[in-house]
Homo-oligomer: A and B are copies of this chain.
Amino acid sequence: MTMEFASRCRGTSRIPADPSRPYVIEKGEGDRAHLFGDLITVYAGGEQTENAFNFFTVEGPKGDIIPAHLHADTYEVFYVTQGAVRLFVEDTEGRQTERLLTPGDFGFVPKDCPHAYRIERHHSQIVGVAAGPGGTFERFFETLGTPAEALGLPATPYVPEPERFASVSQQFDVRFLAGHEWGTSA
């Protein structure tokens, strides 16, 4: 059984518009977006949970570290299900750490903590949950990046226009930290 629904964010989506409706989405068939070389797939968001939480996956190839950023009002989970991902985090007192996460490992980034990650094996996958008292930001990825209908990683990376970073970030509680350096091994 395959059902599709019209939604606020997508012409068609496997996520029901009615938040009181139970649903199942098969692997890969959530709302997809491309941002740089990564595929982001949203399975649930603030509209489904009275803004309590969201649930999405990030899949990508082995690549560079992403730009350092923080969320002033959002807690974020990095749970690796495939491959290997190096998580860089700085606490609110400026102490930096990095850890390699392999499948089943869990990283937690509190609000206001600068962080970044680097995918270190091809075909890696991160499960993400990102929410806080201010709500959820799962539509950040398709807004800074681009919605995708195709399955699989972007054929070519989607690179946003530079001026988009500031405007989109403000809208979704993401603050990029230009010039931030990791004094660990990054």
**Contact at A108–B77, with CB atoms within 8 Å?**
no
List residues of chain B with CB within 8 A of the CB of A52: 52-53, 75, 131-133
Q: Answer whether residue A27 sits at the interface, using C-beta atoms and an 8 A cutoff.
A: yes
Q: How many identical chains are in the complex?
A: 2
Q: Which residues of B contact A133 (CB under 8 A)?
A: 50, 52
* Chain B residue contacts of A105, Cβ below 8 A: 24-27
Instruction: Say whether A25 contacts B75, CB under 8 Å.
Output: no
A87 to B25: give the CA distance in the assembly, Å.
12
Contact check, A53 vs B87: say whether CB atoms are below 8 A apart.
no
When each residue 123-161 of chain A gets 1 if its CB lies under 8 Å from chain B and 0 otherwise, what string results? 000010101110000000000000000000000000000
A–B complex contacts, Cβ < 8 Å, 25 sampled = A20-B111, A20-B113, A21-B91, A22-B108, A22-B113, A22-B115, A23-B107, A24-B87, A24-B106, A25-B105, A25-B106, A26-B104, A27-B102, A27-B104, A28-B104, A43-B77, A44-B106, A48-B75, A49-B131, A49-B132, A50-B132, A52-B132, A55-B77, A81-B81, A129-B129
